[in-house]
Structure 1
Amino acid sequence: MRLCAPLLAAVLALSGTPLAAQGTLPPAPYAYQQLDDPAQEQAARELMHELRCLTCQSQSIADSDAAMAGDMRHQVRTRIAAGQSPDEVRAWLVSRYGDYISYEPQVSASTWPLFAIPALLALLAAALLWRRIGARRA
């Protein structure tokens, strides 16, 4: 029993080391640094306002100070500087993080109900209202 206590203390002390190191990493180079080409920077900024921060979930990556948003800003700027179009960068981020990342979701096999259900509910409400108004007149 005496041998287990120091061993347990050592394991607990060493298991916290990776967690402490997470906060000390420097931000990605393009997280807070603009691109040299103003047109590329403008394209990157417009795209960053259309992408959701996965940590904050209510802010775009352009507005968020979260480390994850900084990494995503870096990816956007790096890929735009490499010559990719904003649509190509968005497609890469969506393939990596899912449809939730985009404030402008695309209609696909997994998202079509999000577009169809509100339209069907509106048609159902209109039909019920039409029947109710028609029943009162008769």
Structure 2
Amino acid sequence: MTTKIDDIRQDPVITRLLEKMPRRVADSFDDEQLAHLRNAIGAREWGRHSIDLRGTVKLAKWRYYYVILAGRNRRSLSDQQLKLARLLTASLIAGFTVIAILVGLVVLYLIKSALGINLIDGWSLGLWTWFDTTFL
């Protein structure tokens, strides 16, 4: 979330910051300084996430913490970050599609084999034999 310099004094983070200072000190900041302060402390605001899970895990003699945050992305991304996001999204969609097609083909092959249909006489992947001995 980017704050314009024109309305920086209306920003909730800046307003809370300035309220904690004496009036003469708060009035001494110009808009550019306040914008830089907003950028420096604005990243520490964690309160607006749909999912906010935090905890610790003890493994052997050490304790580790975890933080899982999820919510609507309000940041403005650079061109490089947008390209990377598009590439990652396309890769995930392609990967999911390939896995879904492979699972579908395996299911179809198992159904075909269960019905006793042979497409090529004398040839088999051996998948049905493994499935039959393992699960049935």
TM exceeds 0.5? no
Which of these two proteins has the greater Rg computed from alpha carbons?
Answer: 2
Give the structure-1-normalised TM-score.
0.30
**Bigger share in strand:** 2
Q: Which has the higher contact order (CA 8 A, sep 6+)?
A: 1
